[in-house]
């Protein structure tokens, strides 16, 4: 069994996430498959598993729920020179060949600014910081020697506090934020969650 190592300067939350990842065989398989993808395509940079992968795991643990199935596994990377969708589809196929039971979704964040009407992103962290919710903007990958590397441009406080909060860009597009909460039924699935609106005390 693979044993992940938390980051050398790991926060308490990152150590807890590392411990919980060890308890989920499927998540271990997902992370190792994505590491193989990174190793095979080093010219594209590092691939992270993000969005609901860690967020839902944290919510499940706090609610003492079994692991909630994900609609897809979001794999993200950033490479300006290859922003075409066809490459993402090729990478999805490579992951599917390795783990066919997983609903993979690979997105080069260098092209995703067009979807939300943003200016071009300059890095993966910049891209994640412009996702809809702060607690969704969290990712993880396996680096060398099974050491985990996390990315969390807004930190972990909202995740820990079970808060749904829009990122600054989506404070100006609250309809998108509201629609996601309703369509994904987060408050029904995880009743301890709370929504924090802009300018609320």
Which carries the bigger pLDDT value, residue 158 or residue 85? 158
pLDDT of residue 201: 55
Residue 24's pLDDT band, with cuts at 50, 70 and 90, is very high
The residues, any chain, with a CB within 8 Å of residue 159's CB and separated by 6 or more, are 13, 54, 55, 58, 134, 135, 138
Mean pLDDT, all residues of the chain: 94
In which element (H, E) is residue 98 found? Answer: helix 85-98
Query: 3-state DSSP call for residue 80?
Result: coil
Closest to 37 (Cα-Cα) out of 84, 77, 80, 91: 91
Where are the domains positioned within the chain?
12-195
Specify which residues 140 forms β-bridges with. Answer: 49, 150
Lowest mean pLDDT among 52-61, 84-93, 182-191: 84-93
pLDDT tens figures, 84-112: 889 999 999 999 999 999 999 999 998 88
**CB within 8 A of 143, min separation 6: which ones?**
46, 149
- Looking at residue 145, its pLDDT comes to 92
Q: Which CATH number fits domain 12-195: 3.40.50.2300, 3.30.460.10, 1.20.1270.360, 3.50.50.60?
A: 3.30.460.10
pTM of the entire structure?
0.94
User: How far apart are the C-alpha atoms of 66 and 57, rounded to whole Å?
Assistant: 9
């Amino acid at each position: 069994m693979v044993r992940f190592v938390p980051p050398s300067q790991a926060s308490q939350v990152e150590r807890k996430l590392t411990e919980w990842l060890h308890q989920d065989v499927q998540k271990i398989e997902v992370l190792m498959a994505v590491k193989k993808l990174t190793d095979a395509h080093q010219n594209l940079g590092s691939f992270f598993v993000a969005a609901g992968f860690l967020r839902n795991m944290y919510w499940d643990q706090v609610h003492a729920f079994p692991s909630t199935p994900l609609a897809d596994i979001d794999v993200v990377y950033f490479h300006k020179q290859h922003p075409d969708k066809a490459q993402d589809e090729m990478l999805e196929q490579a992951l599917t060949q390795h783990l066919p039971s997983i609903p993979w979704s690979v997105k080069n964040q260098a092209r995703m600014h067009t979807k939300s009407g943003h200016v071009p992103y300059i890095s993966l962290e910049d891209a994640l910081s412009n996702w809809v919710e702060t607690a969704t903007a969290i990712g993880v990958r396996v680096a060398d020697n099974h050491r985990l590397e996390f990315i969390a441009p807004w930190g972990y406080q909202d995740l820990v506090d079970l808060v749904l909060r829009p990122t600054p860009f989506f404070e100006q597009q609250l309809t998108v934020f509201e629609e996601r909460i309703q369509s994904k039924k987060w408050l029904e699935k995880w009743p301890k969650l709370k929504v924090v609106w802009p300018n609320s005390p």
